[in-house]
């Protein structure tokens, strides 16, 4: 099974999620400066969350399914993107553009939650191989 083999709607979602994750990482890197305790912590979390978003496009670790199950729905992921985008925005061109794009993607995901004609991709539904439902034994 290849990267774009899921279904016709999954490929654009995967690309958008990976771009959002990359923008989170870039926003996190740019958040390091000026150096302060707050900026370092914020940058590390933003980089961690961006890496988590990108990683979840390839496989869903059981810890993500258990502790971050909100990433498995449009509304959960959308609200997460809006939150991270708001944290990234600062008076710096890269951070304003990156944060705005992430927040826009988040808003679109929230709207998609209420459109029954659009199904989430397999990696957001929890039926991808390797996904474990929290509390369920196999």
This prediction has a pTM of: 0.82
Please compute the mean of the pLDDT values over residues 75-104 and round it to a whole number.
94
What's residue 10's pLDDT? Answer: 58
Residue 3 has pLDDT above 50, yes or no: no
- Copy the structure tokens of residue 127: 């039926």
More confident residue, 33 or 84: 84
Per-residue pLDDT reduced to its tens digit, 91-137? 888 899 999 999 999 999 999 999 988 888 877 766 554 555 555 55
CA–CA distance, 135 with 138 (Å, rounded to integer): 10
- The CA-atom distances, in angstroms, between 86 and each of 80, 94, 132 are 10, 13, 31
């Amino acid at each position: 099974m290849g990267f774009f083999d899921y279904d016709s709607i999954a490929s654009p979602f995967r690309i958008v999620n990976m771009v959002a994750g990359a923008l989170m990482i870039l926003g996190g890197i740019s958040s390091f400066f000026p150096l302060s305790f707050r900026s370092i912590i914020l940058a590390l979390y933003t980089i961690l969350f961006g890496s988590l978003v990108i990683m979840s496009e390839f496989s869903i670790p059981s810890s993500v399914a258990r502790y971050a199950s909100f990433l498995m729905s449009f509304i959960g992921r959308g609200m997460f993107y809006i939150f991270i985008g708001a944290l990234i925005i600062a008076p710096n061109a890269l951070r304003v553009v990156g944060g705005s794009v992430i927040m826009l993607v988040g808003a679109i995901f929230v709207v998609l939650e209420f459109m029954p004609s659009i199904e989430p991709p397999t990696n957001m539904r929890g039926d991808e191989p390797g996904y474990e439902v929290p509390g369920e034994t196999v």
